Amino acid sequence: MISGNVKKRGLKNHSDPLFLVKIGIAGCGGLGSNCAFNLVRSGFIKLKIVDFDIVEASNLNRQFYFSDQVNMPKVDALEANLKRINPDIKIDAIRERLNRANVKKIFADCDIVVEALDEVECKSMIVSSLVNKVKFMVAASGIAGFGNSDQIKIKRIKKNLALVGDLKTGTEKVPPFSPKVNIAAAKQADLILEYVLKGTTE
Amino acid sequence: MILRINGEEEDIAGCDNLLELINTKRLKREAIVVEHNRRIVLKERWRETVLSEKDNIEIVSFVGGG
């Protein structure tokens, strides 16, 4: 299946950058699962999704899963959901907990990585481990709560690293809800689309 | 010593290395990524990273949620 937006842009399939780039998604919770569907709908076809967890009923308030997928490994459920959008995508689904010892190896074949992890220790670990290894990385900080959603901003830390979020509202203090999580996840996906199609993050 | 921290010049006293700077600023060590003159410095290297006048420091602080 040729994705609609690739057709619309009149590009040749084999040379389209959307078909060549491999995107790693670290964490398949609210950010990772929603960012992934935005990437697939945008026309990307090579993804590596990594998460150790299973789908829980409490995830359904914001994550891209369905009630009949509760107790499934998130990577398996996400792969199935993404393939319902485009059956021709190539997904590496890795059920593993990311740590300093395995993160570089797991994402070694990815051009771009989405930081979509939950805990601050993991976020800082993956960004510091990978930012010098990948072409482009999008991380997130401050996506919890509701209201003031214009505060979900993009901060360009360096040429190959952007940060999305309000930089202050963490899940330590307030629970996450679908709208702001989705705004942040969509912004992460849009940064990647911009980077790949324009070759720039400006 | 004048350091440029996250784009703003700050006059920091008594910090010879990155670890001392992070302690002085009371930053949560596990929640930050630190760049010194545009190079990411891993936690283990903070103590040995000596600071000099006009160094560029970028500190990314994370809050939880993904």
Q: Which residues of B touch A163 (CB under 8 A)?
A: 60
Q: Using pLDDT thresholds of 50, 70 and 90, give the confidence band for residue A12.
A: low
Overall size of chain A counted in residues: 202
State the nearest Cα–Cα gap between A198 and chain B, in angstroms.
24
pLDDT tens digits, one per residue of A19-68:
999 999 999 999 999 999 999 999 999 999 999 999 999 999 999 999 99
Q: Which of A37, A43, A35, A40 has its CA nearest to residue A11?
A: A43
Domain boundaries, chain A: 4-198
Radius of gyration (Cα) for chain B, nearest Å? 11
pLDDT at A201: 52
* SS3 state of residue B52: coil
A144-190 pLDDT tens trace: 999 999 999 999 998 899 999 999 999 999 999 999 999 999 999 99
Instruction: Chain B: give the shortest CA distance to residue A137, in Å.
Output: 14
Q: Does domain A4-198 bear CATH number 3.10.180.10?
A: no
**CB-nearest partner of A30 from B32, B63, B66:** B66
| pLDDT digit string, tens, across residues A97-143 | 999 999 999 999 999 999 999 999 999 999 999 999 999 999 999 99
Q: Which domains does chain B have, with CATH numbers?
A: 2-61 (3.10.20.30)
Q: What is the ipTM of this complex?
A: 0.90
With CB atoms and an 8 Å threshold, state whether A158 touches B63: no
Look at A171 and B31 and tell me if their CB atoms are within 8 Å: no
Q: What are the residues whose beta carbons fall under 8 Å from the beta carbon of A142, sequence distance 6 or more?
A: A151, A152, A165, A166, A167, A168, A169, A170, B63, B65
CA dihedral of residues A16, A19, A22, A27 (deg, nearest 10): 120
For A117, the closest of B30, B42, B66 (CB atoms) is B66
* Nearest CB to B40; choose among A120, A132, A143: A132
Q: Does A170 contact B33 at a Cβ distance shorter than 8 Å? A: no
Q: Which residues on B lie below 8 Å from A158 (Cβ)?
A: 35, 38, 58
Beta-carbon pairs below 8 A across chains A and B: 80
